[in-house]
Structure 1
Amino acid sequence: MTAPSYPVIRLKPKTNARAIRWGAPWVFDNELVTDRRTKSLEPGTFAVLEDDERRPLALVAVNPNSRIMGRVVDRDPEAVIDLDWFKSRIARALALRARLYETPFYRLVHAEADGLPGVVIDRFGDIAVIQPNAAWAERLIGLLCQAVAEVTGVSVVLKNASGRARGLEGLDDVSEVLMGTMPEAPVQVMMNGATYMADLVGGQKTGLFFDQRPNHAFAAGLSKDARVLDVFSHVGGFGLAALAGGAQSALCVDGSEAALKLAEAGAVASGFGARFSTRRGD
């Protein structure tokens, strides 16, 4: 396949090109030659990043409206970003999760760490929730959705457009159903010996902070016979894990009444109802 003809953006003289060569994923606006041509690129455009001596470094996604003006998408400056490219990234991420988790409830893609800069994808069994927090991912959300569905086999894909990161990229906050039917009730997630209730439609972020799972597990290991206070608890992340770890009691405090109700439902589903309480506050 013939490589696309990408525009070129260039590092300023004396900018540390070595960082990009050794794996740095971002290029900031003050590191680039921002001439009229570069500034006129549409957010999400792919471009070849060159050093100050015009040597290609990587293929980047450009957003002239963001402080992170270039996100490294591929180390190959001639890479073709198509459905097969997306599927290879998703498949690699899926293979890693399959080694870690017995059930399909996890963070499937964690942005730059999985080669999809600015993209978070959480999996809840047959449902995937995508947060495209970078302009290039928003622009190609259809291909991304298709790749996720084909590789994982999920039947429902939701787009979550909440969060400050999208605003910094100049993106809207309109969430939508990309494939399948919107879930009508919170999804039960078994994690660290407890049952969590994830609201994938109206909850914070994707509905659950999967990235905190190891921290919840660590706290649970310290909780035997303890009285636990979980502040800014959301749906009971640390509190429910602590109860699963043998805590005497757990009090969860959060500013969201809806999140606390989900925490209470999770405590009951886990069999911890008698040892669990909530308090609304900030």
Structure 2
Amino acid sequence: MKTLQVSRATARFLADGHPWVRPDRFTKGLERLGVGDPVVLVDEHGARLASALADPQAEVCARVYHRSPDRAFDAGAAVLRAWKRRDPLHTDPETDCYRLINGEADFLPGLRVERYASTVVVLVLASCASPYVATVCGSLRDLLPGATVVVREHRDDLRREDVSSTLDSGAPIDPGAVVMGRELGVAYPLRPYAG
């Protein structure tokens, strides 16, 4: 696996549990990395710190997906792990709207996945996640047969209105379509296709 050397300060932040690497003058190896490359973060002495996905041109140039160095990245396994962590929610007849995947906390940096009844919205929050979106969508379709999967590119500002949303199947999308979702037994009209 490729390595990315981080500064002493960044190594301290990582040791404290922070999942992001911001490049500074001591960051070395970015020029050898592609977007989404799994890398081992190392300190100035070569000590292996964590496994991350690279985003060489971004303000956050690496996002940790596992605290163990040299850990292979497996997006499908991460989706399944996140799914199992939320098992009680999947069988709750009173609630069908909740967060399925919460980025770095679920070993999927740069991605967030929301469930709104029969619709699943995959939010791409960082370019490092882009190479894995198809795998994530496929895993979600396997876990929720018949669900509509929407991919929303949200790399800049979550408050922006001009966000690109597409169905992973390539079918046309109606941003005004309403889906009825439930939370704790209360039904809500939702517009999961809108940006």
State TM-score, norm by structure 2: 0.80
**Gaps in structure 1 of 5+ consecutive residues:** 1-5, 167-171, 205-282
> Do structure 1's residue 189 and structure 2's residue 184 form an aligned pair?
no
1:101 deviation in Å?
7.7
1:18 deviation in Å?
3.5
- The alpha-carbon distance between structure 1 residues 194 and 126, as it changes in their structure 2 partners (threshold 3 A), is closer
Corresponding residue for 1:146? 138
- The alpha-carbon distance between structure 1 residues 151 and 94, as it changes in their structure 2 partners (threshold 3 A), is farther
Corresponding residue for 1:178? 168
SS at match of 1:106: strand
CA distance in 1, matches of 2:189, 2:179: 6
1:20 deviation in Å?
1.4
C-alpha contact 1:11 1:31 (8 A) present in aligned 2:
no
Corresponding residue for 1:128? 120
- The alpha-carbon distance between structure 1 residues 163 and 20, as it changes in their structure 2 partners (threshold 3 A), is closer
- Which AA in structure 1 matches 2:137? C
CA distance in 1, matches of 2:122, 2:40: 26
CA distance in 2, matches of 1:32, 1:102: 51
| Residues 220-260 of structure 1: per-residue CA shift (max 9 Å, x gap) | xxxxxxxxxxxxxxxxxxxxxxxxxxxxxxxxxxxxxxxxx
CA distance in 2, matches of 1:71, 1:96: 29
CA distance in 2, matches of 1:104, 1:20: 35
Match for 1:26 among 20, 29, 44? Answer: 20
More divergent stretch after superposition (80-89 vs 107-116): 80-89
SS at match of 2:30: helix
C-alpha contact 2:19 2:104 (8 A) present in aligned 1:
yes
Higher CA-based Rg: 1
> Do structure 1's residue 11 and structure 2's residue 3 form an aligned pair?
no
1:195 deviation in Å?
3.8
More divergent stretch after superposition (56-65 vs 99-108): 99-108
Which fold has the larger relative contact order, with Cα–Cα distance below 8 Å and residues 6 or more apart in sequence? 2
- Which AA in structure 1 matches 2:96? P
Match for 1:95 among 78, 87, 91? Answer: 87
- The alpha-carbon distance between structure 1 residues 31 and 20, as it changes in their structure 2 partners (threshold 3 A), is farther
Corresponding residue for 2:42? 50
- Which AA in structure 1 matches 2:21? V
CA distance in 1, matches of 2:9, 2:143: 39
**Gaps in structure 2 of 5+ consecutive residues:** none
- Which AA in structure 2 matches 1:8? T
Write out the 4+ residue segments of structure 1 that deviate beyond 6 Å after TM superposition: none
CA distance in 1, matches of 2:99, 2:90: 11
Corresponding residue for 2:57? 65
- The alpha-carbon distance between structure 1 residues 45 and 83, as it changes in their structure 2 partners (threshold 3 A), is closer
1:58 deviation in Å?
1.0
SS at match of 1:68: coil
- Which AA in structure 2 matches 1:19? F
- The alpha-carbon distance between structure 1 residues 86 and 179, as it changes in their structure 2 partners (threshold 3 A), is farther
Corresponding residue for 2:30? 38
> Do structure 1's residue 155 and structure 2's residue 150 form an aligned pair?
no
CA distance in 1, matches of 2:47, 2:156: 35
Taking the TM superposition and a 5 Å limit, the aligned residue runs for 1:155-234 are 155-162=147-154, 164-165=156-157, 174-179=164-169, 185-191=177-183, 194-201=186-193, 203-204=194-195
1:88 deviation in Å?
3.3
> Which has the larger helix fraction?
1
